[in-house]
Amino acid sequence: MIKAELTVKSNRQIADRTWEMILETPSGMTDDFRPGQFINIRIDGLYLRRPISICDWSDDTVTIVYKTVGRGTEAMSRIEAGAKIDVLLPLGNGYNTEAENVGERPVLIGGGAGVPLMYCLCRRLVSEGVVPAVVLGFRTAGEMFYIERFREMNIEVAVATEDGSYGVKGFVTDVMSDPGYTSFFACGPEGMLRAVDRAAKADIPGWFSFEERMGCGFGACMGCSCETKYGSKRICKDGPVLERGEIIW
Amino acid sequence: MVDMKISLCGVQLDNPVIPASGTFGYGREFAELYDINMLGTFSFKGTTGKRRFGNPTPRIAECREGLINSVGLQNPGVDSVIGEELPALAKVFSKPVMANVSGFSIEEYVSVALKLAAQKQVGWIELNISCPNVHNGGMVFGTDPKQAAEVVGAVRKALDSQKASGGSRPLIVKLSPNVTDLAEIAFACEDAGADGLTLINTLQGMRIDLKTGRPVIANRIGGFSGPAVMPVALRMVYQVYERVRIPIIGCGGVSSAEDVLEMMLAGATAVQVGSANLVNPYACRDIIEALPETMKKYGIETLSDITGGAH
């Protein structure tokens, strides 16, 4: 974990209630980033930092995509290019794609604010020679983003919207029907994760990225603990990615 | 060259800055960031007899200039702390550490305190009788002078019985601000044999989520801390200083070297830093590094001289 002052390169709205912020990073900073890790941002006027998952990175930038859901993220949307922001990064365990047995046909399932993480994971898997299937869920067509970016990687993307304004009307579980998936990765609201666990075949491995209200984001305060089959874990430090078999729903 | 050394219950500290219990774990996360030997000492996570998972989540809520927590004394239990955490700590921290002890009965307080006091690395026992986030424990003992005196007296007696074997330690008692007359409880603790006091634990508070109409914290009520509470903590340190002779560790919202001086002028011998560690993991390092310049600015050569200077 590094504490750094990063310059905002751009901060723009990309869909309803959805913003993309690109931060400039010194060279070398992003070398060891993993999909599934997050950054914790200090925002003027707010006491606690706000954890946001990393969506993408390059040698000299890191990108986050966030939804405006409260005071913190609304304040973030008003930050202008050129501003300097205080961040802790990278935080959390992330997905260790190389070490895990993902098989030939993993499926990546992202719901709403869980989509950016799946973009980053998709890029990583593609770079490792794996072609995943992608299943995305949004509330409504106006909140959709990044669909084209997935398709530019020649990835098959199935979309569900709750109101049926795009793709299949319903939830991600309504479009993850392929019986040939060899593993899955999911990020989204807890209800969605639970439904994915039930819908996925029992004998394939899977990984979930969880959300929780955090105090510090780096494992000190025990504010975001959860019980697992292997004892208590801190979502911020031992997670946010947990393996399917350890979760107590 | 300014002098930042202080003496806390007979043990010398290089400086008065002490990360507060519950914001610094058992030191590991911070030792990865900077050399924690620069600290005066630190108070480790409140430890109970058995492993505790703590309260349901959400346990954290944002506030103006602070936060509410309701962790509920999550800890691995005293035997794991002795078997795993302390050996790991020994590799990165060579100073005496402050052992924060919690419990749900007098027997539990006594047994955990005795086990920890017998560890070479432990310099002080900090008895937490002020946790606002658990039922039938913690704060129950800290909100009534008689019960406070009873648990402090029992631990004192037990520690004294270990003196010959080297298993005794100075006994510091961490008190709750959620009382009508803190000075009365502080006096009762001193009378029962406390060697020092930590003032203050968190203030009870809550937040309500307007979208759901329900409390943000799963346990509904939690402990409020952060810069917003510093005036309250300062006032309590100031008042208790006039009633007791034992040293006071000032705790509550301290985030800068200036805050350290203010706490000491109110009557603190040393200062604990809590919430600030969570938003800036380097907070204690930054405060210690800023102290010499800040002392010079206010014409202070020997830091320990200013304790109680505001009276």
Residue A98 has what pLDDT? Answer: 76
- The answer to whether A218 faces chain B, any CB pair under 8 Å, is yes
Interface residues on B facing A, Cβ-Cβ cutoff 8 A: 22-25, 28-30, 32-33, 45, 53-54, 57-67, 69, 71, 74, 216, 226-227, 275, 277-282
A81-93 burial, b if ≥16 CB within 10 A, otherwise e? Answer: eeeebbbbbbbbb
Tokens of A204: 């394939």
CA angle A77, A81, A82 (to 5 degrees): 135
Residues B95-105, mean pLDDT to the nearest whole number: 96
Q: What is the model's pLDDT at position A197?
A: 95
Query: With contacts defined as CB-CB under 8 Å, which chain A residues touch B53?
Result: 225, 227, 232
Mean pLDDT score, A8-28:
97
Rounded CA-CA distance A99/A124 in Å is 13
pLDDT of residue B137 exceeding 70, the answer is: no
Could A220 and B279 be called an inter-chain contact, meaning their C-beta atoms sit closer than 8 Å?
A: no
Q: Is the pLDDT of residue A99 over 80?
A: no
CA angle B279, A67, B277 (to 5 degrees): 5
Can you give the pLDDT at residue A191?
95
Q: Which residues of chain B does A218 touch, with a Cβ-Cβ cutoff of 8 Å?
A: 29, 281
In the numeric block, which tokens belong to residue B241?
């200083």
CA atoms of A168 and A248, how far apart (whole Å)? 30
Q: Is A180 on the interface with B (CB under 8 A)?
A: no
Determine whether B131 is an active site residue: yes
Q: What is the DSSP string of B155-205?
A: HHHHHHHTGGGT----EEEEE-S-SS-HHHHHHHHHHTT-SEEEE--PEEE
Per-residue pLDDT tens over the stretch A59-68: 999 999 999 9
Residues in B closer than 8 angstroms to A3, CB to CB, are 280-282
Of B69, B74, B216, the CB nearest to A215: B69
A146-176 tens-digit pLDDT: 999 999 999 999 999 999 999 999 999 999 8
The mean of the pLDDT values for chain B is: 96
Closest CA to B74 of B141, B26, B37, B22: B22
Of A48, A221, A226, the CB nearest to B71: A221
pLDDT tens sequence across B138-172: 677 889 999 999 999 999 999 999 998 888 999 99
Check B74 against A215: CB less than 8 A apart. no
Determine the average pLDDT of the residues in A130-144: 96
Question: Does ipTM exceed 0.90?
Answer: yes
At B48 the pLDDT is: 97
Q: A88 in contact with B at a CB cutoff of 8 Å? A: yes
User: What's the mean pLDDT in A227-241?
Assistant: 96
Contacts of B277 in chain A (CB under 8 A): 216, 220
A157 part of contact set with chain B, CB < 8 Å = no
**For residue B136, is pLDDT > 70?**
no
Most A CBs within 10 Å: which of B24, B279, B280, B285, as the mutation test of the A interface?
B279
pTM of the full predicted structure? 0.95
Amino acid B131: pLDDT: 82
| Contact assessment for residue B197 and residue B246, using Cβ atoms and an 8 Å cutoff | yes
State the nearest Cα–Cα gap between A25 and chain B, in angstroms: 19
Mean pLDDT for the stretch of residues A223-233 = 95
Note whether B32 contacts A237, CB cutoff 8 Å. Answer: no
pLDDT for position B139: 75
Q: Which residues of A touch B32 (CB under 8 A)?
A: 1
pLDDT tens readout for residues B81-92: 999 999 999 999
Across the range B98-117, mean pLDDT stands at 96
Of A212, A232, A237, the CB nearest to B74: A232
Q: How confident is the model at residue B134 (pLDDT cuts 50, 70, 90)?
A: confident
pLDDT at B133 exceeding the cut of 80: no
Q: Rounded CA gap, A142 and A162, in Å?
A: 12
Strands A133-138 and A50-57: unpaired
B9, B63, B131, B284: the catalytic one is B131
Residue to test with chain A: of B34, B57, B131, most A Cβ within 10 A: B57
Q: Measured between CB atoms, does A224 come within 8 Å of chain B?
A: yes
Nearest to B71 among A48, A223, A237 (CB): A223
A53 phi and psi angles, rounded to 5 deg: -75, 150
Nearest to B53 among A47, A227, A237 (CB): A227
B122-128 and B6-8 beta bridge pairing: unpaired
Q: According to the model, what pLDDT value does residue A151 have? A: 94
- Average pLDDT (B262-290) is 98
Contact between chains at A220 and B281 (C-beta distance less than 8 A): yes
Distance from the first to the final alpha carbon of chain A: 30
Cis? peptide before B215, omega within 30° of 0: no
Beta carbons of A3 and B281 less than 8 Å apart: yes
> pLDDT tens for residues B35-75?
999 999 999 999 999 999 999 999 999 999 999 999 999 99
Contacts of B23 in chain A (CB under 8 A): 216, 220-221
- Chain segment A82-95, per-residue pLDDT in tens: 999 999 999 999 99
Q: Is A229 on the interface with B (CB under 8 A)?
A: no
